[in-house]
Structure 1
Amino acid sequence: MKNNKIKNSITALILLFAITAFSQNKSSNTVSLDIFYSKIQAEKKPQIIDARGPEEFALNHINGAVNFNLESKNYAEQVAKLDKSKPVFTYSIGAGRSVWLADELLKNGFKEAYSLEGGIANWIGNGKPFYASSKSKLTLTEYTKIVADNKTVLVDIGSKYCSACTKVKPVLETIKTQYGENLKIVEIDLETSPQVIADLKTIKVFPTLILYQNGKIVFKKDGFNDLKKDVDVALASK
């Protein structure tokens, strides 16, 4: 029993390191949304694999996708059900787990396997068809009104399952403390408001930060690097 636990722990660590490595280096099998979507459309019964956790999948996913939990005991059984002669389309929250899965499938005899660049953020964020388990808390009309009713608005769009997104929160708190009522901060999560993210049709990755001034976009950032600096510079020039 003890040896099995050690073996499972080692396997989990290897998977974690593999996923981390692939998330930092774009695979040759990672394709743009346009290519991913067109290839899916060309298939009568596309094999679409959601490589996220079951909780994430239950909240939202690409229409027609099935969930492969990479850490589940029946992972091999799930793979065995796929047709190796036909393309497999994988995605995750970004491009970590899905890249790893696509590459593993190719190593194991699959003819074609593609990972979606930007993951579910890119798919939903550009208005492609998806399933959601609940109605969005925020609508596009409400979003537009917030932007119109406030002189300066900083919008944070992400997911609680996105590790980079969690790192934005303390930065937002610092910005909020500095600017107070002079800056309206709006946080939009995929889990609670997927439809407004889809309706915006401009989101490619999580997190995405958008700064509005008098209803117009001052900047739109993919990722949060230098967010505090960019906000300071933008507001100092106004």
Structure 2
Amino acid sequence: MKNVKFKFRLTAIVYLITIAVFSQGQSANVLLDAFYSKIKSQKNPQIIDARGSDEFALNHIKGAVNFNLKSEDFEKQVTALNPAKPVFIYSIAAYRSGLLATELAKRNFSEIYILEGGIASWIGGGKPFYSNLKSKLSLAEYKKILSENQYVLVDIGSKYCATCKTVKPILESLRTKYGEKLKIIEIELEESPQVIADLKNVKVFPTLIFYQNGKIIFKKDGLGDLKNDVDTALASR
């Protein structure tokens, strides 16, 4: 009975905090499971993909509409939304989502949720998505590469991700240094979305995974000090 009362009080506190936050016209960054659950609780969820139209055309959350602050039809798109209902926003990272959320908050939208990790988290978490292409790399092929190479470094990202671009020269440096000893795989959302979904362990772009004999030695959500981490991992083996 005490546990029931405690859970009820905790739920009430969370509910009141949520009301307080949204009454101030703010948005909330939420993790994938919470974002997904809230969407599923809506009959006709208002989902906004705040990326560019070229990105949206390649892949997106099913049911999403596409616009951001730079869209020519921005005012028309905003007018079509119901400010009294929750709005769910995502992009490839937090920047464009945050800008759009701030603008909607100024226009008195009551509940604004931003997906932490953006489209990387959604697809990387295995949630349903639309794609207009077939993945170049399959999960079976991915596993085959792991089984045939002792050391494998996997770079998972997107050509539209600014941080992902900074990984490329580091990868070239590692290729030069280690040669055939280290197999490097580069997987981009725009080329192989399904294998990213099948892995079910990608939360952000870039995601870097280092394998030895098919087992994960380290996984990095973001760039960090990748070269040092790889050097350290290989030096100890």
Q: Give the TM-score category using the shorter length.
A: 0.7 to 0.9
Matched with 2:200 is: 201
Q: Distance in 1 between matches of 2:102 and 2:69?
A: 13
How big is each residue's C-alpha offset from its partner over 1:125-162, in whole Å with a ceiling of 9 and x where there is no partner? Answer: 00000000011000000000001110100000000000
Paired residues of 1:30 and 1:99 also in contact (CA < 8 A): no
Q: Distance in 1 between matches of 2:73 and 2:196?
A: 33
Q: Distance in 2 between matches of 1:156 and 1:32?
A: 22
Q: How far 1:70 moved relative to its partner?
A: 2.4
Matched with 2:64 is: 65
Aligned residue for 2:57, secondary structure, equals helix
Q: How far 1:81 moved relative to its partner?
A: 0.6
Matched with 1:110 is: 109
Q: Distance in 1 between matches of 2:66 and 2:122?
A: 16
Q: How does 1:13-92 map to 2 (within 5 A)?
A: 29-92=28-91
Structure 1 stretches lacking a partner, 5+ long: 1-26
Matched with 2:11 is: none
1:119 partnered with 2:125: no
Paired residues of 1:29 and 1:99 also in contact (CA < 8 A): no
Structure 2 stretches lacking a partner, 5+ long: 1-25
Question: 27-36 vs 70-79, which deviates more?
Answer: 27-36
Q: Distance in 1 between matches of 2:190 and 2:72?
A: 26
Aligned residue for 2:145, secondary structure, equals helix
Q: Distance in 2 between matches of 1:72 and 1:28?
A: 21
Q: Distance in 2 between matches of 1:204 and 1:141?
A: 21
Instruction: Normalising by structure 2, report the TM-score.
Output: 0.88
Q: How far 1:194 moved relative to its partner?
A: 0.2
Paired residues of 2:154 and 2:186 also in contact (CA < 8 A): yes
Superposed CA RMSD in Å reads 1.0
Q: Distance in 1 between matches of 2:107 and 2:42?
A: 22
Aligned residue for 2:36, secondary structure, equals helix
Name the % identity. Answer: 67
Matched with 1:177 is: 176
How big is each residue's C-alpha offset from its partner over 1:72-126, in whole Å with a ceiling of 9 and x where there is no partner? Answer: 2211111011011100100000111112212221221111111100000000000
Aligned residue for 1:73, secondary structure, equals coil
Q: How far 1:28 moved relative to its partner?
A: 5.5
Q: Distance in 2 between matches of 1:30 and 1:164?
A: 20
Question: 71-80 vs 86-95, which deviates more?
Answer: 71-80
